[in-house]
């Protein structure tokens, strides 16, 4: 079983700050000067979850809890498990759940400190069992082998895929946790699709790919992938979403994502 956040995990070995999201619906304790601070990618991913979602959700590669907290704030009938391998980030997640901004959902969020790429036996001992989650969301480390690796181990762990088959392994492990008919969402750079799509196509149906563009007329900077396990529905590429208008003004889509009102990515 997943474990409640421990109070003793709340001491940070580095400076932190509190960042509020979705007009105060949730907040995170995030590192300052090192590590990785969650932002738009996490909000985009959480925007694929419907407010009426229920059951159990896994946030894989949770960091300080951005996706998991957003989903718990968004869907009051949902229980969330945040899975993160770096103990420092699990500590920040614990601090975040102690914030008054998060008290409305803190009792529905738990954590597992585990490496998603560990052997199945190790994951099951940690409480990550095959086929038990109704929803799986993941914002994995995705910079490919050969990309510059930060000397900061926390930042490197959050951003860098270690090994040429890292992402495919990550996705296989993620999808194994999902129930039949369960819903999966991931956010990736477009160049990662070639490695991940063959994994999705053997395990998911109703796959939908939504390109995310910084500006109209520019190449996509991210893709959102959603799908249902064991569905037989075909793949679809959905219309792209634009973050900024010509001239740099935020789009209505970006505003809706930033304020927790967006729901997209499904057919």
How far CA 77 is from CA of 46, 57, 72, 125, 244, in Å, comes to: 15, 11, 8, 27, 33
Q: Look over the chain and give the mean of its residue pLDDT values, rounded to a whole number.
A: 90
pLDDT tens per residue, range 176-201? 999 999 999 999 999 999 999 999 99
Domain ranges of the chain: 7-258
Nearest-angstrom CA–CA distance, 8 and 49: 31
Q: Supply the pLDDT for residue 33.
A: 76
Stretch 7-33: mean pLDDT, rounded? 80
Q: Using CB atoms within 10 A of its CB, is residue 243 exposed (0-12), middle (13-18) or buried (19+)? A: buried
Tokens of 36: 């990785």
Q: Supply the pLDDT for residue 246.
A: 87
3-state secondary structure of 142: coil
pLDDT tens per residue, range 205-223? 999 999 999 999 999 999 9
- Spell out the CATH class of 7-258: alpha beta
Nearest-angstrom CA–CA distance, 261 and 267: 18
Tokens of 117: 């790429």
Q: Which of 15, 47, 22, 13 is nearest to 222 (CA)?
A: 47
Is 23's pLDDT higher than 80?
Answer: yes
> What is the value of pTM for the model shown?
0.89
Torsion of CA 5, 176, 199, 121, to 10 degrees: 90
Length of the chain: 267
Nearest-angstrom CA–CA distance, 94 and 207: 34
Angle at 200 between CA 199 and CA 201, to 5 degrees: 95
Q: Supply the pLDDT for residue 164.
A: 74
Q: Supply the pLDDT for residue 3.
A: 37
Torsion of CA 186, 247, 38, 136, to 10 degrees: -20
Tokens of 104: 């409305």
Q: Using CB atoms within 10 A of its CB, is residue 180 exposed (0-12), middle (13-18) or buried (19+)? A: exposed
Q: What percent of the chain has pLDDT over 90?
A: 79
Q: Which of 161, 141, 157 is nearest to 87 (CA)?
A: 157
Contact (Cβ atoms closer than 8 angstroms) between residue 163 and residue 145 = yes
Banded pLDDT at 146 (limits 50, 70, 90): low
Question: Sign of torsion, CA 204 210 212 213?
Answer: positive
Most confidently modeled range among 139-143, 161-165, 176-180: 176-180
Tokens of 55: 């059951």
Q: Supply the pLDDT for residue 9.
A: 41
Tokens of 73: 């704030």
């Amino acid at each position: 079983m997943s474990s409640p956040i421990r109070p003793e995990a709340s001491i940070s070995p580095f400076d932190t700050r509190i960042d509020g999201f979705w007009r105060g619906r949730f907040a995170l304790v995030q590192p300052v000067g090192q590590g990785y601070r969650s932002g738009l990618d996490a909000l985009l991913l959480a925007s694929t979850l419907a407010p009426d979602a229920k059951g159990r959700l896994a946030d894989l590669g949770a960091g300080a809890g951005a996706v998991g907290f957003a989903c718990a704030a968004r869907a009051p009938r949902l229980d969330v498990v945040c899975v993160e391998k770096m103990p420092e980030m699990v500590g920040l997640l614990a601090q975040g759940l102690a914030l008054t901004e998060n008290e409305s959902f803190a009792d529905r969020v738990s954590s597992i400190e585990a490496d998603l790429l560990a052997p199945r036996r190790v994951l099951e001992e940690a409480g990550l069992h095959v086929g038990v989650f109704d929803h799986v969301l993941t914002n994995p480390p995705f910079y490919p082998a050969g990309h510059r690796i930060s000397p900061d181990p926390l930042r490197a762990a959050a951003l860098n895929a270690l090994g040429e088959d890292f992402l495919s392994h990550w996705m296989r492990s993620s999808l194994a946790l999902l129930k039949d008919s369960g819903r999966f969402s991931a956010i990736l750079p477009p160049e990662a699709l070639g490695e991940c799509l063959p994994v999705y196509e053997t395990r998911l149906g109703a796959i939908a790919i939504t390109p995310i563009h910084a500006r109209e007329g520019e190449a996509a900077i991210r893709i959102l992938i959603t799908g249902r396990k064991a569905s037989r529905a075909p793949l679809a590429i959905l219309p792209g979403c634009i973050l900024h208008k010509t001239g740099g003004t935020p789009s209505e889509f970006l505003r809706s994502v930033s304020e927790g009102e967006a729901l997209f990515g499904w057919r």
